[in-house]
């Protein structure tokens, strides 16, 4: 109870123009609400879609917990919680990659596709953290490796095996896959932008003036909740088809 009251006192101390703190709090509440929605709706679907909905809930729940801690860190130190962000991402981003495998199982996707996407996402995040927090003098090199892993993921889902499986599945699965691809291509673009804005290199200054914490917070909420809603919409459409049949 004492810790809970302490957390509420931190909220009260946030300045009215502290938009970073505000977006941390809103992001936490939004993803917590999304988690409750996904978890409570699981039993409404066929068993083959429940895992996908469960993973969507786990993604937003993990993010909500980390956002709670990140908000407290920001309140106490007024510094970007880089460590907590990467802990969140190293757990949630691979799960977002798993969602591609789960929706493509209907077209015969193999676990090798899932592990390939997970491996690439881990490489992307670990090298990103090394460049942003550990070896900042070589940030451009670690960022390059991270960027290569990201673009391989983009290739796999837009043009590679994942795309071929989505085309084979067709219908609502193909539509959902394409929407998730757009989230990865456009929504995830905020992360390399944030990396370049926060690390030294030839690109330094290109994104000066942006409050990347606000951009990260809004982008995280949109990407993670949006991913889950796409999966939820797919599960609804597939369940309706089953009932009609």
DSSP track, 120-141: HHHHHHHHHHIIIII-GGGHHH
- Taking alpha carbons only, the member of 1, 16, 58 closest to residue 35 is 58
User: What backbone torsions phi and psi does residue 45 show, to the nearest 5 degrees?
Assistant: -120, 165
**pTM (global) more than 0.85:** yes
pLDDT in the model for residue 151: 95
pLDDT in the model for residue 209: 59
Taking CA atoms, 188 is separated from 13, 50, 88, 219, 235, in Å, by: 32, 25, 14, 8, 24
CB-CB contact of 225 with 67 (8 Å): no
* Eight-class DSSP state of 80: -
The two three-digit tokens of residue 66, written as one number: 């980390």
Tell me if residue 186 falls in helix, strand or coil: coil
CB-CB contact of 103 with 238 (8 Å): no
Q: What angle do CA 135, 141, 147 make, to 5 degrees?
A: 115
pLDDT in the model for residue 203: 78
pLDDT in the model for residue 106: 85
Residues of the chain under the 70 pLDDT cut: 1-15, 208-210, 241-245
Q: How many CB atoms lie within 10 A of CB 76?
A: 10
The two three-digit tokens of residue 200, written as one number: 């030294």
- What is the sign of the dihedral through the CA atoms of 30, 87, 138 and 124? negative
pLDDT in the model for residue 65: 96
Distance CA 173, CA 129 (A): 34
The residues near 68 (Cβ < 8 Å, ≥ 6 apart) are: 7, 28
pLDDT tens for each residue of 121-171: 999 999 999 999 999 999 999 999 999 999 999 999 999 999 999 999 999
Which secondary-structure segment (H or E) carries 194?
A: helix 190-198
């Amino acid at each position: 109870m004492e810790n809970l009251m302490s957390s509420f006192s931190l909220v009260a101390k946030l300045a009215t123009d502290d938009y970073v703190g505000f977006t941390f709090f809103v992001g936490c509440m939004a993803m917590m609400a999304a988690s409750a929605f996904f978890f409570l709706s699981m039993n409404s679907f066929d068993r083959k879609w429940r895992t996908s909905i469960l993973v969507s809930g786990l993604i937003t729940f993990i993010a909500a917990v980390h956002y709670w801690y990140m908000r407290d860190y920001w309140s106490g130190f007024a510094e970007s919680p880089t460590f907590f962000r990467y802990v969140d991402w190293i757990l949630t981003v691979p799960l977002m990659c798993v969602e591609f495998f789960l929706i493509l199982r209907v077209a015969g996707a193999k676990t090798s596709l899932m592990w390939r996407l997970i491996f690439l996402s881990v490489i992307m995040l670990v090298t990103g953290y090394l460049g942003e927090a550990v070896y900042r003098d070589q940030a451009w090199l670690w960022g390059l490796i991270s960027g290569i892993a990201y673009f391989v993921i983009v290739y796999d889902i837009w043009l590679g095996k994942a795309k071929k499986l989505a085309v084979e599945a067709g219908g609502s699965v193909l539509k959902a896959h394409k929407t998730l691809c757009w989230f990865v291509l456009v929504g995830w673009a905020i992360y390399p932008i944030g990396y370049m804005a926060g690390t030294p290199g030839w690109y330094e200054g290109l994104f000066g003036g942006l409050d990347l914490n606000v951009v990260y917070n809004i982008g995280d909420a949109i990407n993670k909740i949006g991913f889950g809603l796409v999966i939820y919409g797919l599960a609804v459409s597939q369940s309706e088809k089953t009932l009609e049949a």
